[in-house]
Amino acid sequence: MARLSRAVFGARRTSLSAAAALSLNTRNSVLHTDPEAIKAVHVAYLNAGADIIITSSYQASLAGFVREGFSSDDAKALMRKSTALALQARREFLASDLGSLRAAQGKDNPLVAVSLGSYGAFRCDGSEGTGAYDEVPDNTVYRYHEERMRILDERDAVTERVDLLIFETIPTLREAKIISDVLTNNPDLFADVPAWISFRGKENGLVGHGETIYECVSAVARNERIAGVGVNCTKPEYVSELLVGAKNALQHLRLDKALFCYPNSGEEWDEAGRCWIKDSSAAKDVSDWADEWVGIGATAVGGCCRTTPATIAKLRHKLIT
């Protein structure tokens, strides 16, 4: 599955915050305390027209759960529950009137994507936006991604297969290369499931740590397991330049892979104040940019932090209906 035709997809983190009064650092616990809230958010995005839903495993890790007081076995079970909830939500949607209508219209079933956030997401200090963990050895970052993949791909625990892996909010060239190595060295993990790498970007076509997205895509796109590259949790005003850089890298390598984006609302996360701060870029809706991104070549467009199912409904109306 190298390409999708005009897919729309949305993140689940912000809506979950609204539904369950959560902060970014408590997402792990909600898999234990209120899994129905997570499933309800997935269903809300499907009802809004999403073609791809993303599991609530962005920050979930063995070490993170243990840090919150869970045993190793319970931590693994909760991580796998994030996949089970998304798959269950899809089954319920497909059995609903809206799901039946989608099938009657000849549309493909929505995809379930496993979210694998950057190493910085585990740290819960905002460093997934900057990549400010240069001091962490490569082998530590490698083991972090490999361990999460191995836990989430436990066949006895999750019998229904997912459709996609998305390594999200990757802020550095170094981490992108490490993820590529993990995929290459573990062909048994999520075998036959395509992977996307999504970068956290900023102005001037740069990723969070300061490398160009052209460099990042050029370094990893030859990996046969990587079926798509794109941008997420980035201000909408920066996305077009980032997409152009990624597209140019793919064209230079003569590769035909999916190009996608799902930016945030344009607001900034204040780590010290633990709140979102609005600025002028947040005044424009994500859907207002969609035609420009599709014109560049994006085949999947959605929303990340501070976007909602209403954002997805607008995107679907604008791009597909």
DSSP structure class, residue 107: P
Question: Backbone phi, then psi, for 229, in 5-degree steps?
Answer: -135, 150
The pLDDT score that the predictor gives to residue 265 is 81
The pLDDT score that the predictor gives to residue 157 is 55
d(CA 8, CA 313): 9
207, 155 contact by CB (below 8 A):
no
Predicted model pTM: 0.90
The pLDDT score that the predictor gives to residue 286 is 87
The pLDDT score that the predictor gives to residue 321 is 60
d(CA 262, CA 239): 9
The pLDDT score that the predictor gives to residue 25 is 36
Task: List, for the chain, all residue ranges whose pLDDT scores fall below the cut of 50.
Answer: 1-6, 13-27
Helix axes 97-104, 72-94, angle to 10 degrees: 60
CA distance to 44, 143, 148, per residue, from 151 (Å): 27, 12, 5
d(CA 149, CA 298): 27
